[in-house]
Amino acid sequence: MGVQGLSGQASTNEPRENDPLRILVVEDEPQISNFLRVGLGYEGFSVAVAEDGHGALTQLKRFKPQLVILDLMLPGMDGMELAERLRADPDLMIIMLTARDHVEDRIAGLKAGADDYLVKPFDFEELVARIHAVARRRLSAEAGILRAGPITLDQERHLVTIDGSAVELTVKEYDLLRLFANHVGRVLSRRFILDQVWGHEFYDENNVEVYVRYLRRKLGDPEHQLIETVRGVGYRLRG
């Protein structure tokens, strides 16, 4: 079948978020896809399956997976072509499965965008370990990224985008947005914002109102759909 061993014990050595990782299995052999669907579900993941490339692209829109387990030997659109199309979403993680254990194939798979590569037959527990390793690497890479609705803030590069388009901010505007993005959905008082962005020596809370107005203008938020005013209290960035 190409998969070895399902222990009957769920792996518990890796912490999980409240929402399970969404995994799409793209495999044309029903035995393997069913095995992985059941086994990975037992491990606590949310799993969908597709038997070919076209089915995978449909599930991509419907299921919105975070990680794809992709067999290279698919009918119709092969795994390499599908991987290149999946890479249109840079956040999507890909683990390739193949029966071919040649260095050239591994290199080609990694160039096509795979995060990892596993040769059949493989041990189920090794697959689970690799899923955790790939997810952990991605989370570490994204540790400096803050997101709120259409806003993405890259703290390492001091880059802000909204719906993918770059937004130029001054230092204080950036600091203000970063504060909001670190407290998405929470109401922040003007005093708290002033202390965090300008420091305790500043006492004029009008500064906050002025810079919120600047920030809204830069973010294209004249209707206050992103940064909400909570009367008598302060402001809230909606997620």
Could you read off the pLDDT of 155-202 as tens digits, one per residue?
Answer: 888 899 999 899 999 999 999 999 999 888 888 889 889 988 998 777
Q: What is the mean pLDDT of residues 129-149?
A: 80
Instruction: Report CA 208 to chain centroid distance, whole Å.
Output: 32
Asked if pLDDT for residue 233 goes beyond 90, the answer is: no
Q: What is the pTM of this model?
A: 0.56
Report residue 56 as tokens. 């995978």
Residue whose structure tokens are 């799409």: 24
> How many other C-beta atoms can be found within 10 angstroms of the C-beta atom of residue 130?
17
Q: In this structure, are residues 138 and 20 in contact, taking their beta carbons and an 8 Å threshold? A: no
pLDDT-based confidence at residue 14 (cuts at 50, 70, 90): very low
Q: 234: Cβ–Cβ under 8 A, 6 or more apart, which residues?
A: 187, 188, 189, 190, 192, 193, 208
pLDDT tens digit sequence for 60-91: 999 999 999 999 889 888 888 898 888 778 77
Q: How many domains does the chain have?
A: 2
Are both 158 and 132 inside the same structural domain?
no
Q: Which pLDDT score is estimated for 117?
A: 86
Final residue of a domain: which of 114, 141, 168? 141
- Quote the strand ranges of 93-164, DSSP E: 93-98, 116-119, 122-123, 145-148, 151-154, 159-162
Q: Are 115 and 160 found together in one domain?
A: no
Domain span holding position 135: 3-141
Q: Which of 141, 167, 198 is the last residue of a domain?
A: 141
* pLDDT exceeds cutoff 80 at 27: yes
Q: Are residues 41 and 149 in the same domain?
A: no
Residues 187, 158, single domain; the answer is yes
Distance CA 231, CA 236 (A): 11
Based on the fold, state whether residues 174 and 78 are members of the same structural domain.
no
In this structure, are 183 and 87 located in the same domain?
A: no
List 146's β-bridge partners, or say none.
Answer: 153
